[in-house]
Amino acid sequence: MKGEPAAPVVTHALVLEPMLVNLADSGSNSYLRVAITLRVTDVPDKKGAKPKEEKSKDDKEGNDVVAAVRDTTLMVLGQQTAENLLAPDGKARLKAELKSALAEHNADLKVADVFFTDFLVQR
């Protein structure tokens, strides 16, 4: 079995619509506007199944996945404070928290990476 090459890991991008969330700062009206793209590892499908990118946008299962991901993401974001997000390692810590929460609440979704494509903290 040493001669068998490892199967290539296939991923796709899950682009989330921008989100606006109130931050958990006490006595403040801070908010975060963020756009996130997730790199998701594809689960090997049965032979003959369409690859993920070929599925219809109206795919109910896809809409359910996006809704669950957005819900989990909003819950994590709503617990953040502006000070923590603006710290030198704030974005890196948030990425780790998001990956952990998504793995816990969306077990079928294998998130390989989290990318912030827009990130604005307003105090």
Q: CATH number, domain at 86?
A: 3.30.479.30
HSE (side-chain half, CA atoms, 13 Å) at 50: 6
In a domain, 37, yes or no: yes
* pLDDT score for 54: 40
Nearest of 1, 10, 32 to residue 110 by alpha carbon: 10
Kindly state whether residue 39 falls inside one of the protein's structural domains: yes
Q: Does a structural domain hold residue 64?
A: yes
CA distance 16 to 36: 6
Q: Using an 8 Å Cβ cutoff, are 34 and 88 in contact?
A: no
Does any domain span residue 77? yes
Instruction: Report percent pLDDT > 90 for the chain.
Output: 67
**Host domain of residue 108:** 11-43+59-122
Indicate if the pLDDT at residue 59 is higher than 80. Answer: no
Question: Would the pLDDT of 35 be above 90?
Answer: yes
2: left (phi over 0), alpha (psi -120 to 50) or beta: alpha
Assess if residue 5 is contained within a domain: no
35 sits in which H/E element: strand 31-41
pLDDT surpassing 60 at residue 19: yes
For the whole prediction, is pTM greater than 0.85?
no
Query: Is residue 115 in a domain?
Result: yes
Element (H, E) at 72: helix 60-77
Tokens of 121: 């903290």
**Does a structural domain hold residue 2?**
no
Q: Give the per-residue pLDDT at 45.
A: 60
Number of domains within the chain: 1
Question: Is the predicted pLDDT of residue 53 greater than 50, yes or no?
Answer: no
Least confident interval from 48-57, 60-69, 70-79: 48-57
